[in-house]
Amino acid sequence: MRTPITSVDGRWVLPGVANLHSHAFQRAMAGLAERMTHPSDSFWTWRETMYRMAARFDPDALHAVAAQLYAEMLEAGYTTVCEFHYLHHAPDGRPYDDPAAMSRALIAAARETGIRLTLLPVLYMTGGFDGRPLNDRQRRFGHAVDAWLRLFETLHREQDDMLRVGCALHSLRAVPPEAMTTALAALPRDARIHIHIAEQIGEVQDSLAIRGDRPVRWLLDHAEVDARWTLVHATHLEVDEIVGIADRGATVAICPTTEANLGDGLFPLRDHLDAGGAWGIGSDSHISVSPVEELRWLEYGQRLATKHRNIVATEAMPSVGDALLRGVQASAEASTGFASATTAGDAVVLDGDAPQLVGATPEDIADRWIFSGNRPLVRTVTVNGREVVADGRHRDRDAIAARYAAAMRGLLAG
């Protein structure tokens, strides 16, 4: 099979990459959670830092941070982003006068920067599998099902060629079974559905203790999981769960840099591929905003775990780079909701004059882009027929960066 990167008029061109999992506000805390707060620091202690940052946002700050992030994504080669959005209300939990104000801030940032957006308003109701209420730090995330459905319907009416609106269930621990059933039954049949699941061993243990089964197994047995579903992380799986995900046609969104940063663990990629499973990548907490780094560390993590090389390659596709790019291409439509015919004109052009690409051929260009260093190689990005990146710079980089800097000063002073 040929590489997804093609030579057009002497330039190396690849389709835009879909980023399947983003929490835009967390771009503001990248690098600010790397100090020890507990002898056994983990995801759960990191979450306390995240709560403190989340409490400082309003719609203007969210717009500024998201625009900066989305411009960075475009410069790196992402052309579509799935925004897993749970920062809905004011910090005290009261809805804004416009209950969709925070969602509209994200839409405005996407439209300003020119990235395709799959907005996934999150249903978030409880603080654990035991059904305990949301705590004070989580209150601004929460909805009752009827209020969440009103938000979804409001946003869904605004879909166009650059915007899709789907559903995010925060996690099984945050959405009781009856609420999940009610929400899913009310969705349009073409709505994409994303959910955090099996990210942490503690989550798996709680699910076993309270629901009597592992999270993915429980979901497969209690929901009509199919190709509309994207399971985010799904790090801790047993063989029957891997096979079940693949058989249902669901996609797994793997976020290697965030999963490494949080100490989550390694997704069983080779077993998933052998089962015929679909997968994509996400930058999640945005400690890195680079499809190259996500793809590189997806492969490297597997090499470290197995002590072998070239894990995603096969006899039919011996190039690791080709296999990685084919994987993210194959899952994009199912996860984002944007038909391939709609995104066919989205393109990323690499810097053919870069030292890393001297003498590149169709057989090695994907490997050289992903595995030959850290110099950014994206020169031009076109989305929906508009050039949004030229000479490696977003068209509005300076204005967006200035607004981001002002917003960050306010957030850090909070």
pLDDT in tens, 209-219: 999 999 999 99
Which residues neighbour 212 within 8 Å (Cβ) at sequence distance 6 or greater? 218
Torsion of CA 219, 220, 225, 226, to 10 degrees: 150
Taken as a whole, the chain contains a residue count of 414
pLDDT band at 2 (very low <50, low <70, confident <90, very high): low
pLDDT in tens, 188-215: 999 999 999 999 999 999 999 999 999 9
**pTM for this predicted structure:** 0.98
Give the strand order in the sheet containing 347-350.
6-8, 11-15, 347-350, 378-383, 386-390, 393-394
pLDDT in tens, 322-332: 999 999 999 99
pLDDT in tens, 45-55: 999 999 999 99
The rounded distance, in Å, linking the Cα atoms of 365 and 353 is 13
Asked about 233 being catalytic, the answer comes back as: yes
- Residue 77: C-alpha distances to residues 119, 339, 367, 397 (Å): 19, 19, 16, 15
Mean pLDDT of 110-118: 98
Decide: 263 and 369 in contact? Cβ < 8 Å. no
Mean pLDDT of 367-379: 96
The rounded distance, in Å, linking the Cα atoms of 166 and 20 is 12
The rounded distance, in Å, linking the Cα atoms of 268 and 259 is 13
Q: Residue 276 above 90 pLDDT?
A: yes
Mean pLDDT of 370-382: 97
Mean pLDDT of 327-352: 96
Mean pLDDT of 362-383: 97
Mean pLDDT of 261-287: 97
Percent of the chain, pLDDT > 90?
97
pLDDT band at 287 (very low <50, low <70, confident <90, very high): very high
The rounded distance, in Å, linking the Cα atoms of 343 and 15 is 8
- Angle at alpha carbon of residue 264, lines to 221 and 241, rounded to 5°: 20
23, 264, 284, 351: the catalytic one is 284
Q: Residue 1 above 70 pLDDT?
A: no
Q: Which residues of 6-25 are buried (b: 16+ CB within 10 A; e: fewer)?
A: eeeeeebbbbbbbbbbbbbb
Mean pLDDT of 339-367: 95
pLDDT band at 3 (very low <50, low <70, confident <90, very high): confident
